[in-house]
Chains A and B, each alone.
Chain A
Amino acid sequence: MADTDTYLHLIGLQILAILGIVMIIQGERPPKRALSGAFLLVLGMLLAHVVSHILPDHFARFVYGTHREYRSLPRQD
């Protein structure tokens, strides 16, 4: 079973794919605008999560990964 972050990313990517495809199929302008707004919102949330959680985690692992104290910290996932 994967962790919560992986599932949140998977759901985010699925919603992006759905919004993207429906946006292409939808012909009328007002729904298309609402869909593109929703697309940008989901994309923004995913990017914010990457910038605020995943990148700092990776940096910390890269810099302190060899330190025993860092590896012995209790992890949340």
Chain B
Amino acid sequence: MTIYLATIAASLAVSLCSLSSAFALWMPAATLKRVVPFLVALAVGVLLGDAFIHLIPDAVERRGSVSDVCLTVLVGVFGFFVLEKLVRWRHDHNVDTRPGAEILPLAKMNLIGDAIHNFVDGILIAGSFLADPILGWTTTLAIVAHEVPQELGDVGALLRGGYSPRQAVLNNFYCSLSVVPGALFTLLLSQLAESSLLVLLPIAAGGFIYIAASDLIPVLHERSTLRHLGGQSASFALGIAFMQGIVMLEQTLLTP
């Protein structure tokens, strides 16, 4: 019973972290507008870093075959491409004419990708608690550490996608709640959840690569001043460095 409660507590702690992006609500609108392009660059670095440094190596370690993982990543990229086509098709057929109601597909894709990623995080948390409670808490700590920069970047992408700061923070939080169903799914059907990770990890990676490369990087090219070149490159690199740092922290925490 305590394992179940500890897993739920850890999942709620991860969800609570996504509310760290609420700082955007107290920023003056002009400052927020200036900061958003750099947050989008941070999101690109964090998403690509998470996919290439974290998710794909983890999937390879579990599956053992690099070619199978790469194929599943490509299936993920393809799936997100089809999903975006559907979102754009629906968007074109349901035009909302209210002022400020225009939400770009990149924001919706980001929310879908984030929800899948958080579901996977829930599976990882519950899986480690089932193995050993101490491993469960160290895994939670590692997930919290990579969640905070990612949520900052995600909120930047959602703001760029047309959401108001309030909507961006709330929608991002609602997506982060998918940690809890992920954890419950694992607690109830642990073997099925463990094997589903073999597919879900590379698909989440494919989704992140697709969102970063096709939705977010074109947004970064909209501004081409020297200040944006320097600032966005630094934010992009910072996102990758964050993820590398988290992987090193994870290795220290999870190595007995």
> For the complex, what is the distance from the CA of A73 to the CA of B230, rounded to whole Å?
69
Which residue of chain A is the closest to B170 with respect to CB atoms?
Answer: A25
The dominant DSSP class at the A interface is helix
Assuming A3-B2, A11-B9, is B19 touching A18 (CB within 8 A)?
Answer: yes
- Indicate the size class of the contact surface on chain A: 10 to 19
Question: C-beta contact mask, B1-40 vs A, less than 8 Å → 1, else 0?
Answer: 1100110110011011001001001000000000000000
Q: A21 contacts the other chain (Cβ, under 8 Å)?
A: yes
Q: Given A25-B25, A27-B166, are A1 and B2 also a contact pair (CB < 8 Å)?
A: yes
B169 CB–A CB distance under 8 Å: yes
- Quick one: which of B1, B8, B9, B166 has the most chain A CB within 10 A? B9
Known: A14-B16, A17-B16, A18-B16. A4 touches B1 (CB 8 A): yes
A14–B177 alpha-carbon span in the complex (Å): 13
| B9 contacts A14, C-beta separation under 8 Å | yes
Is B231 at the interface (CB under 8 A from chain A)?
no
A residues in contact with B133, CB < 8 Å:
1
In the assembled complex, which residues on chain B have CB atoms less than 8 Å from the CB atom of A50? Answer: none
In whole angstroms, how far apart are the Cα atoms of A26 and B174 in the complex?
12
Asked if B173 lies at the interface with its beta carbon under 8 angstroms from chain A, I say yes
Inter-subunit contact A11/B170 (CB<8 Å): no
Nearest A-chain residue to B137, judged by Cβ: A1
Contact of B169 among A15, A18, A25 (CB under 8 A): A25
Residue of B nearest to A18 (CB): B16
* C-alpha gap A25/B16 in the complex (Å): 14
Which one, B8, B9, B13, B170, contacts A22 given CB within 8 A? B170
A34 in the interface (beta carbon within 8 A): no
When each residue 21-50 of chain A gets 1 if its CB lies under 8 Å from chain B and 0 otherwise, what string results? 110011100000000000000000000000
Q: Are A7 and B25 in contact (CB under 8 A)?
A: no
Contacts of A55 in B (CB 8 A): none
Q: How far is the CA of A17 from the CA of B18 in the complex (A)?
A: 12
Can you report 10 A-B residue pairs in the complex whose CB atoms are below 8 A from each other?
A1-B2, A1-B133, A2-B6, A4-B1, A7-B8, A10-B9, A11-B8, A11-B9, A14-B16, A21-B22
- A-B pairs, top 10 by smallest CB distance, nearest first, are A7-B5, A14-B12, A10-B9, A21-B19, A1-B133, A11-B9, A7-B9, A1-B2, A4-B2, A7-B6
- Other than A4-B5, A26-B170, give 14 A-B pairs with Cβ distance below 8 A: A1-B2, A1-B133, A2-B2, A4-B1, A4-B2, A7-B2, A7-B5, A11-B8, A11-B9, A14-B12, A18-B15, A21-B22, A22-B173, A25-B166
